Amino acid sequence: MLVTGGEPPVLAYRGCDVGYGEVTVVRDVDLEVRAGEAVALLGANGSGKTTLVRAALRLAAVQRGSLELFGTSVDRARDRARVGYVPQRHTVATSVPATVAEVVACGRLARTSPLRRLSPSARRADAAAVHRALDAVGLAGRARSSVGELSGGQQRRVLIARALAAEPELLLLDEPTAGVDAASQQALASTLAALSATGTTLVVVTHELAPLAGVVERAVVVRDGRVVQDAPIAAVTAAGYDEVGHHHDDDHHDGEPHPGEPHDAWLPRPAVGG
Amino acid sequence: MSAVEILDYDFMRRALLAAALVGLAAPVVGVFLVQRRLSLIGDGLGHVALAGVATGVLTGAAPVWTALVAAVAAAVLVELVRWGGRTSGDVVLAVIFYGGIAGGVVLISLAPSGSPANLTAYLFGAITTTSAADVRVFAALAVLLLAALVLLRPWLFAVSNDEEYARAVGLPALAVNVALAVMTAVTVVLSMRTVGLLLVSALMIVPNAAAQQLAGSFRATVLAAVGIGLVCSLAGVGASYYADVPSGGSIVLATITVFLVAVALRAVLDRRHRLPRSGSRGGPAPAATPDPGGVR
């Protein structure tokens, strides 16, 4: 056991192979994320970083080794209510109209039950949490807007608010800055910094470090389905990300979905952080 | 002829009550089916319910109960097949659904007094067929259905809106999907006297399609769809009495009329909305605050 001291790691991959069906995407991963850490999972498209996170949500299968969430096997669904998840997606609009608040309220459900929701005080508490989450992403004024009316960047913020509404101890974000304008990226960075300051553990999958450089403190670099570097953020930025960035992914077919992800956005932007 | 005249007949009162129950329930279940893009599942379950009806006729059991058993069993099976996620799932559904309608036709022919013509009333609705016992069963089923819908609404919404997210955060997505499938089956059975097993799917879907032309929220969509479903069901039964046509046909034509009006209204509203701002993204309405999302 690698546990030292009281609390188990929030997330612990031990000799993990992860994939979908017969396909193995990530191999032999040993990785621990401790409570309160803010970790970036870096890598080019197709490197396997999204799959690594999806395993913690049981959206990808652990094929070998073990994966523990809050010290228990990831298969025990109970603890997943403590996890917030922002999927890699650009839109929330569905075939039936829904308001921003209606979508964000979904984030509360893992923490409640149909009978508990009968109590007006429980419903008020849920509504308050939804409002706080919308406030955190700057959409409090749009709570009653139809999500279909929002821009792409705003819809991304709705997905982030849905995760925040769960008041998670561990927040997993998959490419939260991709396809989002600079103002929204800065707003997201300050939101995440505030969460991190209050003890929320953050794991951010990204292929561009710059927008979140002030938030994450540790970088785990994934390449070709293996963890090739795990170091404090300063060490990774000092070495330059070009090593990873020039790695084009067109020849990889690992089954990892990448809807609309931009391809050349990896290189660092000197303007922010570093 | 006054409109009140139709209330003088017991059979009409029963038919109107049965129509009101299904008109109320069908759109509420249907909105989640539209959200999950499973608009035709009710149609398939109607096929299977027909086999249940035929079994009832053959064995002398009440067709309402045999149809309920058949539809619920098929609904659970369909959802488990979908959950398995095999690419052949689509074919399995087709086998279940057409097996239902074929079984219904064959079984009814085996019944001493039966012929496939007996099924017409079940397929398209017939206002004279609703018995007092039927109304009692329908009322009990409708109360249970609406109670379950009220309790489970947020979960049904979450799973139908984004199933992957629901599974990721530990919501019981399979249980919710099975619950929705069973509710769909119950709705199909509620429909068998007035709307008919072949047309009930329209009453689940079309009022929602009309409502979402004009609504901006899920809540408003459901409320409007229920209103449309209720009014069209009652109007359709009334039309069936006066014009002597199958009630299922008149109910569904009424919903389609409302749908077309809603589409036309939407087009007019969009036109007005777009005149002052020509640069919108082509969504339902332009965003109120500037946010150049998607621009890097």
Concatenate the DSSP letters of all residues of B16-39 into one string: HHHHHHHHHHHHHHHHHHHHTT-T
User: What pLDDT, on a 0 to 100 scale, did the predictor assign at position A184?
Assistant: 79
Average pLDDT value for residue range A239-262: 43
Query: For position A240, what pLDDT does the model report?
Result: 59
More confident residue, A33 or B116: A33
User: Of A99-103, A151-155, B94-98, B100-104, which range is least confident?
Assistant: A151-155
* Burial tier of A131 (Cβ tally within 10 Å: 0-12, 13-18, 19+): middle
- List the end-to-end C-alpha distance of chain B, in Å, as a whole number: 68
Q: How confident is the model over B92-102, as a mean pLDDT?
A: 90
Is 80 exceeded by the pLDDT of residue A221? yes
Amino acid at A202: L
User: What confidence score (pLDDT) does residue B88 get?
Assistant: 64
**Confidence grade of residue B130 (pLDDT, cut at 50, 70, 90):** confident
Chain A interface, best mutation among B165, B214, B280, B295, by max A CB count within 10 A: B165
Window A:14-73, CB contacts with B under 8 Å: 54, 57-59
Whole-complex ipTM: 0.83
pLDDT of A77 reads 57
> How much is the pLDDT for A239?
62
| Residue A242 confidence (pLDDT) | 45
What is the model's pLDDT at position A183? Answer: 80
Amino acid code (one letter) for A47: S
Q: Are B236 and B23 in contact (CB under 8 A)?
A: no
3-state secondary structure of B203: helix
| Range A202-225 average pLDDT | 89
Confirm or reject contact between A76 and chain B (CB < 8 A).
Answer: no
CB-closest option in A77, A97, A151 to B294 = A151
Q: Is A115 exposed, middle or buried (0-12, 13-18, 19+ CB in 10 A)?
A: exposed
Contact B164, A60 (CB under 8 A): no
Is the pLDDT at A266 greater than 70, yes or no? no
At residue A182, the pLDDT reads: 83
Q: What is the pLDDT of residues A109-168, one digit of tens each?
A: 988 889 888 899 999 999 999 999 999 888 999 999 999 888 888 888 899 999 999 999
Percent residues over pLDDT 70 in chain A: 82
Q: From chain A, pick out residues whose CB is under 8 angstroms from the CB of B277.
A: none
Q: How confident is the model at residue A180 (pLDDT cuts 50, 70, 90)?
A: confident
Band of residue A4 on the pLDDT scale cut at 50, 70, 90 = low
A155 vs B contacts (CB less than 8 Å): 293
Give the predicted TM-score (pTM) of the model.
0.84
Helix B41-59 × helix B173-190 angle, to 10°: 60
Least confident of A112-121, A150-159, B34-43, B108-117: B108-117
For residues B222 and A47, which has the higher predicted lDDT (pLDDT)? B222
> Does A117 contact B287 at a Cβ distance shorter than 8 Å?
no
**Closest in B167, B281, B284 to A146, CB measured:** B284
